[in-house]
Chains A and B, each alone.
Chain A
Amino acid sequence: MGQTLFEKIWESHIVVEKQNEPALIYIDRHLVHEVTSPQAFDGLRMNDRKVRRPDLTIATMDHNVPTSDRSLPILDQTSAIQIKTLENNCKDFGIKLFDINSPNQGIVHVIGPQLGITLPGSTIVCGDSHTSTHGAFGALALGIGTSEVEHVLASQTLWLEKPKTFEVRVEGKRKNPHAVTAKDIILSIIKNIGTAGGTGTVIEYRGEGITDLSMDQRMTICNMSIEGGARAGLIAPDQKTFEYLRGREYTPKNYESLVDSWKDILKTDSDATFDKQFILDINDISPQVSWGTNPGMTCDVDEPIPSPDKFSNGDANQKRGAEKALEYMALESGTMIEDIKIDRVFIGSCTNARLEDLIEASKIVKGQKVASSVNAMVVPGSQMVKKQAEEMGLDKIFIDANFEWREAGCSMCLGMNPDILSPGERCASTSNRNFEGRQGNGGRTHLVSPVMAAAAAINGHFVDVRKLDLN
C-alpha cells in the first residue's frame, strides 16, 4: 500500500525504532528564540553538554522585542535580560543568531522560509507551537516544549510517538479570492473540526483549494494547524514551492539536485489512506470573524453570533464555554458581526504578516483614513518583509491612513512586548489566538484576515469585504 507524505518524511528520519515505544527521529533544522530557550541552555550547562549540530541550528529574537525605534534601549528590564541571555547563549554554544539589529531579524516562522532555511521533506522543530507554518513547504514541522528544545540541542533528535494522519481536502474555487482568503479557509476548517479536531494527528491539506494558493497563503493555512489541535500540518511541495526557495540567502548550493530528488517522492501516493478525513467546499465560503475565546468560535461575517445552544450542538460543557466566552467578549448572541465596533486593529503575526498580506491590506487602506475611534498598527513579520514593503511604498499608504508602521516581531499577537490591549478594548486582529487576555489582560480579540482587519480599521466596525472593490 502507498504512503502519505507525512509517512515518507517520518520513515526517512527514524534513527531508532522499537515496538510500542516512541521512535527516535532525526531533526534537520532547529529554530531557536529567546522565550523558550534559556532554561534549555541552562540544562546543557548544568550537565556539561554541548550543542551537537550548531550548523543545523539558527536563532532570532521575536517574541519580546519592541517594535518601536530600535535605536533606543529596551525599557522592560526582564525583556532586555531575556534578549541578552539569547545573545550570550548563542555565543557560548556557537549558534548563528539574527539579532535585533540584523536585516534578517523577524518572527522565526517568517524568516525560516524567507532565508531558504526551511526545506521540503525535512524535519523542523522550534519551541513554539506555530512551527507548523513550515509545513507549507512539505516539511514535518513540530512545535516543542523547552525540555525537548534541550534534547534537540544536545542530540539533534527527538523521541516521538507516531501521529495519525488526517486529510483535510479543500475543494472548489473562491469566487472572490481577494476577499475570501487563506485565513478564511483555515478558520472555516477549525470552526468545523473543532479546536481539538486534529489532536494526535498530522494534517495534510490537499485539493484544488490548496494548490491554488500562493506560498504566503499556504503558510497561513499550515500556521493555524495547531489551532485545530494538530501536531503539524503540511502541504505537498510543487513548482510554487521550489520556485519560492530558489536563490535565497541560505538555500543549499546543491538546490537543483535536491529539487530533482524531491519532485517525485514528496507527495502522498495515490493508493495511500488517511486515518481521518474532512472535506471543505470553498465555492461559497464567506470571510470569517471569530466571536469567542478560541478559534473554533467563529462565524461568517454576514451571520449573527450564534446562541450557545446552537454553537454547542447539545454538549453541555461546550455550551457553558460559549456562555463564558460571550460574557468575556461582552457580546450577545444574535448580534450581527457587521454591527460590532472595534477600538484597535493589529495587522501582524506569523499567521498574516508576510508581504502578500500587507499588499492585500494596503489595497483597502489606500487613500482612506483609519476611523477616528480606532488605533491601528501594522507590524511586518520580518525586517525583510518591512524592507520589501517599503520599496513598494506600502508604508506610505498605511502611514497616510494613520496606521502605525512598526519594526518586525510577534508584537500584539501575544503582547509580550509593550504592544498590548487595555482591559475591555476590542481588536480586529490578523493573529491566530483569541484566548482570554492573549493580547492584553481583559482585551477582546476577533480573528480575521488582513483585508477584513484593514476594512474594520477604516470603518470602525466589521464590514463584509466582498462588498468592496478589491481587484
Chain B
Amino acid sequence: MEPFQNVKSIITPLDKVNVDTDQIIPKQFLKLVQKSGFGKFLFFNWRYDENENIKSDFILNDSKYVGSKILVAGDNFGCGSSREHAVWALDDYGFSVIISSSFADIFFSNCFKNGILPISLESKTVEKLLKETNVIEVDLENQIIKTPSEDILFEINSHKKKILLEGLDDIAQTFQYKDKISEFEEKSTVPSVL
C-alpha cells in the first residue's frame, strides 16, 4: 500500500444518507476476480440509465467534479454488504478521502486496507462541507481539513493513522507475532473442522 499523502482537491458533494455498498458498486460487477478496474462501475446505477446512457443529473456526471479526490456524503455511508469492491471502486475512480457524519463498520475498516481515509465529522460540519465549492486540503499528519474559511480538526485512531501514513502491510505486521499465535493455538480448545 502507498503511504497516504496530503490531498488538495475540490469536494464532490453526494447529498444522500444511508448510501449502501450495493449503490457504490452494484452486484453485477462483483464477478471479477481482480482488484483493479472497478472505477468505471462506481455508482453505476446512479450514473447510467437502463440503456447505459449518462444520467446528467447525477453529481459524478457533472464535469465540474472531474478529478475530485474528496467525496462528502450523508450519514451511515457504506452500509450493507461487506464487499470491499466498493472501496476498490472509489479508489480506482480517484477518491482518497471520504467524509461523512458516520460510516458503517465494515466499510470503514475496508478503507484503511486500501489507503483511503474515511473522516467522521459532526452532521453540521458535513452539511457545511457539502456546500463548499473551493479547493480544500486534507492533512492527515496534523488531522486538519483546511478550507478557505476555517481549519476543521478531525479525530482518527493513532494506530489507523500510522497504517495510512506509512502504507503498512497488515499481514507483515501480524507475522511479527507468529510465536504468540502458535502459543494461542497450543492452548486453544476449539477443535478443527476436519
A435 lies within 8 A of B23 (CB): yes
| Interface residues in chain B, defined as those with a beta carbon under 8 Å from any beta carbon in chain A | 15-18, 20, 22-23, 26-28, 30-35, 45, 50, 74-76, 79-85, 87, 102, 104-106, 109-110, 113-114, 157-159, 170-171, 174-175, 177-178, 180-181, 184-185, 188-194
A-B contact pairs, 27 of them (CB 8 A): A15-B184, A21-B158, A24-B177, A35-B30, A38-B33, A39-B33, A42-B33, A55-B194, A58-B193, A76-B31, A96-B193, A145-B82, A145-B87, A145-B110, A147-B114, A148-B109, A155-B178, A159-B174, A199-B102, A199-B105, A229-B79, A250-B194, A317-B74, A435-B22, A435-B23, A437-B23, A441-B45
| A122 part of interface (Cβ distance < 8 Å) | yes
Number of A interface residues in the complex (CB < 8 A): 83
A24, A36, A423: the one within 8 Å of B83 (CB): A36
Residue of A nearest to B83 (CB): A36
A416 and B171 contact, Cβ closer than 8 Å, known pairs A15-B177, A55-B194, A195-B76: no
B181 lies within 8 A of A156 (CB): yes
Residue of A nearest to B22 (CB): A435
Give the contact stretch, choosing among A77-85, A333-341, A344-352: A77-85
B45 lies within 8 A of A39 (CB): no
> A100 to nearest B CB, angstroms?
15
Residue of A nearest to B18 (CB): A294
Tell me which residues across on chain B come within 8 A of A252, comparing CB atoms.
Answer: 191
> A309 to nearest B CB, angstroms?
16
A11 and B157 CA atoms in complex are apart in Å by 22
> A318 to nearest B CB, angstroms?
7
The A-B contact count (CB < 8 A) is 192
Residue of A nearest to B190 (CB): A28
A254 lies within 8 A of B191 (CB): yes
> A44 to nearest B CB, angstroms?
9
B171 lies within 8 A of A144 (CB): no
A261 lies within 8 A of B18 (CB): no
Please report whether the interface of chain A is mostly helix, strand, loop or mixed according to DSSP: loop
A143 lies within 8 A of B82 (CB): yes
| Interface residues in chain A, defined as those with a beta carbon under 8 Å from any beta carbon in chain B | 15-16, 20-22, 24, 26, 28-29, 35-36, 38-39, 42, 47, 49, 52-53, 55-58, 63-64, 76, 78-79, 81-82, 85, 96, 117, 119, 121-122, 127-129, 143-148, 150-151, 154-157, 159, 161, 163, 195-196, 199-200, 226, 229, 231, 250, 252-254, 258, 261, 294, 317-318, 320-321, 324, 414-416, 423, 433, 435-438, 441-442
B171, B180, B190, B192: the one within 8 Å of A49 (CB): B171
Tell me which residues across on chain A come within 8 A of B84, comparing CB atoms.
Answer: 36, 39, 127, 145-147
A129 lies within 8 A of B32 (CB): no
B35 lies within 8 A of A145 (CB): no
> A229 to nearest B CB, angstroms?
6
